Amino acid sequence: MEVIPAIDLLDGKCVRLYQGDYNQSQVFNDDPVAVARQWADQGATRLHLVDLDGAKVGHPVNLAAIRSIVEAVDIPVEVGGGLRDRDAVAALLSTGVRWAILGTVAVEKPELVAQLCGEFPEQIIVGIDARNGKVATKGWLETSEVLATDLAERMAQLGAAAIIYTDIQRDGTMQGPNLASLRDLASISAIPVIASGGVSSLTDLLSLLALEPQGVTGAIVGKALYTGDVSLTEAVRAVGQGRWQDIPPDFGSSAFA
């Protein structure tokens, strides 16, 4: 399972929001490029970037910072926030970003998702952000009547490469992921599901690992990395490629050898 550090961009800075509330933001670093390098050096295999300004206004805002991050690290980057039309997605991918994450348009313009999946195969991820099981849009400022499970099934049919599922009520709270909702979503989705929101400890990541057979292939971790509650290096060792339980023990000269 991939452990994917989150870098949320607001006014060009690395921040975290509490339950998606723009009025409850905490700045962790003024230099998101330095943060990206730090996570790459500690073993991250990809980065998750969110253009919070873009999500709010409906078009990418932090492209310069995103481009700088892509150029600074040798691992793939996925980006969401404000991607509401074809030109915005094309401009983002032209910076070297590996995956574009679509949110609001998945609800409002599914035909656009289908078009983009065809034009940019394996580069379109759909972000499903849910509040009480219903999909939120426009930077979490509005809640639709669309069920997250229904949207996941539809997006898989349209050719999305993966789904990122965020439980808004867990995001930034350090209360642990919503395992029941993730299990329901993964059981319906025919494509990989990446968990987001609430991870606060290695125990949370290990609990997510139990859902890997159902198709939960990664976990985005944000606040817990910045507060030090989760060590990225230890997290990668615990649940990532070559995790502890997959490595045969070295008994040396032990009688058990």
User: Which residues are the active-site residues?
Assistant: 8, 129
Give me the DSSP letters along 111-123.
HHHHHHHHHSTT-
What are the beta bridge partners of residue 51?
9
Identify the residue whose tokens are 């910072």.
65
- Tokens in use for 95? 């910076």
Q: What is the Cα–Cα distance from 37 to 39, expressed in whole angstroms?
A: 6
Q: What is the Cα–Cα distance from 20 to 172, expressed in whole angstroms?
A: 8
What are the beta bridge partners of residue 5?
221
Identify the residue whose tokens are 């509330």.
21
Q: What is the Cα–Cα distance from 127 to 104, expressed in whole angstroms?
A: 8
Q: What is the Cα–Cα distance from 171 to 54, expressed in whole angstroms?
A: 19
Helices (H), the chain: 32-41, 52-57, 63-72, 86-93, 104-108, 110-119, 148-158, 179-188, 202-209, 223-227, 232-239
CA distances from 234 to 42, 114, 221 (A): 9, 38, 13
Q: Are 70 and 78 in contact (CB under 8 A)?
A: no
